[in-house]
Structure 1
Amino acid sequence: MGPEPVFAPDVPVEVRRLFERKPELFVPASSPKPKRQTSWSTEPAATFGSLLVWLAVCVGGWILALIIFALTLPTAVAAWAALVLAIVGVVTTGAVGVGSAVENRKQKAVRLQHGKYLLAEDFDEESGRLLARGQRAVKSVLEATVTKRGLLDDVKNELVLPEQLWDIGQVLHEQSVLRARQREVARGMATAELEAVLGPQRRALNRSVDAIKRKVELLEHYADRVRSADAALRAEAALEDGDRYIELLARTEPVGDTSVVQGFADEAASLKNTLSQTIAAARDAGRTLALPD
């Protein structure tokens, strides 16, 4: 499964939601920036024809109304009614004309944000797999119960993780572009001169790939820690039912048998310690993400 779109942290939420409804409006960063589009630029003939039809309807309707006013109203009232109707028609026609010359709001938002989002088409197979791994890790952290309850607030996941994904996405996109460029240049006859140039470039690209892999692995390590903390939190929640089990056993076990009760108490103490440790480990793993390379 390919990666999901990745957005720069400053891209408005409205644009992100727009992708969910109208993904066809979005243009890959590897493609030229979309031009400003209006009805006149995309369908000039159809727009001109629509305006002519609108004008014909307005003029014809005004003339018909003028005749009806003249037959049914006093002369002065008919004149004022005709004038008001003419003003409404002119204003409406002007609004229609301006609307046809104005860029669609959704298309404008996508055009202005071009380059601040990366689509699946912006990545080759290798980069796409790495980005998808990072996105799964980030999603796992953000959807975890310990995150939603604010137990990891000092890590600032809502800010740090999107920035991490965007940084990773930008580098992976550049790696995809350079890999494609290398394949294109290397196509054909291999020469010593060409290899002298491509060799260092390949080594630099491989070092960059290794560095990004380590960043993705850090995200996955953090996600594993958060999942462990989540599991401990669920286990602690399950212990809240302990009193009901103790009451159940009290009705069936011999009087004076406190081993089960003591077992619940010991388990609760152990779990509290485990939960504290797993949350501390998750926080430590999360803090490493925000440290400079």
Structure 2
Amino acid sequence: MGLDPVFAPDVPLKVRRLFERRPELFVPAGQPRPKRQTSWSIEPGATFGSLLVWLAVCVGGWILGLIIFAITLPTAVAAWASLALAAVAVVMTVGVAASSAIEDRGHKTVRLHHGKYLLAEDFDEDSGRLLGRAQRAVKTVLGATVTQRGLLDEVKNELVLPEQLWDMGQVLHEQSVLRARQREVARGMATAELDAVLGPQRRALSRSVDAIKRKVELLERYADRVRSADAALRAEAALDDGDRYIELLARTEPAGDTSVVQGFADEAAGLRDTLARSIDAARDAGRTLALPD
């Protein structure tokens, strides 16, 4: 469905960046929380074999060093050098053994934050379609120039919109689970008793879907207002080139028509009014997002 993951607002930025680098680590909320994973739990045989190879290398290296020390160094010095080499080998062996028993940082992060993120696999087609619309609207708002310049700061988009997405994502995920459950229960059966149970459940689910649709439409309306404000802002910025066009006319038509200059001035005033109205409309639409249903 091409959906982006949805994260709870309190999920650290490092978790979001981890998804960008290693998305395969993340487990859908609909699946059990992943267990703690180490080299021993994933591949115990390979881990044990690697440790045996490491021990063989250490012992062989120590014996070779002992021979070299005995040939090249005085007895006392050779003894101390052999002891130091053995100590280094023991410390390194302990470190290798300990690292094989430590959980990979990426797996640990995913395990600890399981349930605080939702993946595309957590949504069925209907829920995914609604979530995709909401995500596109949020991207439009956050990427708009009027937002980045702080012209809509009072709406607090950076805080409100991620919370809105997470709340919607949780509800849409639950709707997906319940729809699948209803299909499973109703498969191969059609009795009055079953209809009596499923009827109210379906109506409740339908009302929940309608409520989410209204919220998505509010987001899209807000995105449209922000898009209009952005267009007005770009048009106003284009007026900065007005003097260059006037100068161009003056150079090519010394007795140029003054109505052109007046037209630039009138257009500038009109655009400023349009920009002010567009920003006010965007702010009004943004405020509705934080209002209770």
TM-score clears 0.5: yes
Tell me what 2:206 maps to.
Answer: 206
Tell me what 2:36 maps to.
Answer: 36
* Number of aligned positions between the proteins: 293
**Deviation at residue 59 of structure 1 after TM alignment:** 0.7
Superposition map of 1:75-94 within 5 A: 75-94=75-94
Tell me what 1:183 maps to.
Answer: 183
Superposition map of 1:53-72 within 5 A: 53-72=53-72
SS of residue matched to 1:62: helix
276-285 vs 234-243, which moves further: 276-285
Tell me what 1:117 maps to.
Answer: 117
The Cα offsets for residues 69-98 of structure 1, whole Å up to 9 and x where unpaired, read as 111012222122111111111110000000
Tell me what 1:9 maps to.
Answer: 9
Q: Which consecutive residues of structure 1, in runs of 5 or more, have no partner in the other structure?
A: none
SS of residue matched to 1:241: helix
Tell me what 1:219 maps to.
Answer: 219
2:282 aligned with 1:282, yes or no? yes
SS of residue matched to 1:3: coil
Superposition map of 1:21-170 within 5 A: 21-170=21-170
**Deviation at residue 291 of structure 1 after TM alignment:** 1.7
**Deviation at residue 2 of structure 1 after TM alignment:** 3.2
**Deviation at residue 254 of structure 1 after TM alignment:** 5.5
**Deviation at residue 256 of structure 1 after TM alignment:** 6.3
The two structures have a TM-score, normalised by structure 2, of 0.98
The Cα offsets for residues 140-169 of structure 1, whole Å up to 9 and x where unpaired, read as 111111111111111111111111000000
CA contact (8 A) 2:36 2:103 kept: yes
Q: Following the alignment from structure 2 to structure 1, what is the Cα–Cα distance between the partners of residues 146 and 78?
A: 73
The Cα offsets for residues 163-220 of structure 1, whole Å up to 9 and x where unpaired, read as 1000000000000000011111111221111111111100000000000000000110
177-186 vs 254-263, which moves further: 254-263
Q: Which amino acid letter does the alignment assign opposite residue 75 of structure 2?
A: T
SS of residue matched to 1:240: helix
Q: Following the alignment from structure 1 to structure 2, what is the Cα–Cα distance between the partners of residues 107 and 151?
A: 41
Ranges of 4+ aligned residues in structure 1 off by more than 6 Å: none
Q: Following the alignment from structure 1 to structure 2, what is the Cα–Cα distance between the partners of residues 117 and 87?
A: 46
Q: Which amino acid letter does the alignment assign opposite residue 66 of structure 1?
A: L
Q: Following the alignment from structure 1 to structure 2, what is the Cα–Cα distance between the partners of residues 225 and 172?
A: 25
Q: Which amino acid letter does the alignment assign opposite residue 280 of structure 1?
A: D
The two structures have a TM-score, normalised by structure 1, of 0.98
37-46 vs 185-194, which moves further: 185-194
Tell me what 1:20 maps to.
Answer: 20
SS of residue matched to 2:29: coil
The Cα offsets for residues 107-137 of structure 1, whole Å up to 9 and x where unpaired, read as 0000111111111111000000000000000
CA contact (8 A) 2:19 2:26 kept: yes
CA contact (8 A) 2:141 2:147 kept: yes
CA contact (8 A) 2:146 2:152 kept: yes
50-59 vs 186-195, which moves further: 186-195
Q: Following the alignment from structure 1 to structure 2, what is the Cα–Cα distance between the partners of residues 264 and 256?
A: 14
**Deviation at residue 292 of structure 1 after TM alignment:** 2.2
CA contact (8 A) 1:2 1:129 kept: no
Q: Which amino acid letter does the alignment assign opposite residue 45 of structure 1?
A: G
CA contact (8 A) 1:30 1:122 kept: yes
SS of residue matched to 1:28: coil
2:240 aligned with 1:240, yes or no? yes
**Deviation at residue 104 of structure 1 after TM alignment:** 0.4
**Deviation at residue 251 of structure 1 after TM alignment:** 2.3
Q: Following the alignment from structure 2 to structure 1, what is the Cα–Cα distance between the partners of residues 44 and 255?
A: 91
Q: Which amino acid letter does the alignment assign opposite residue 241 of structure 2?
A: D
The alignment yields a C-alpha RMSD, in angstroms, of 1.0
CA contact (8 A) 2:250 2:256 kept: no
Q: Following the alignment from structure 2 to structure 1, what is the Cα–Cα distance between the partners of residues 256 and 168?
A: 61
CA contact (8 A) 1:140 1:223 kept: yes
Q: Following the alignment from structure 1 to structure 2, what is the Cα–Cα distance between the partners of residues 265 and 118?
A: 52
SS of residue matched to 2:252: coil
Sequence identity (%): 84
**Deviation at residue 255 of structure 1 after TM alignment:** 2.2
**Deviation at residue 241 of structure 1 after TM alignment:** 0.2
Q: Following the alignment from structure 1 to structure 2, what is the Cα–Cα distance between the partners of residues 156 and 77?
A: 71
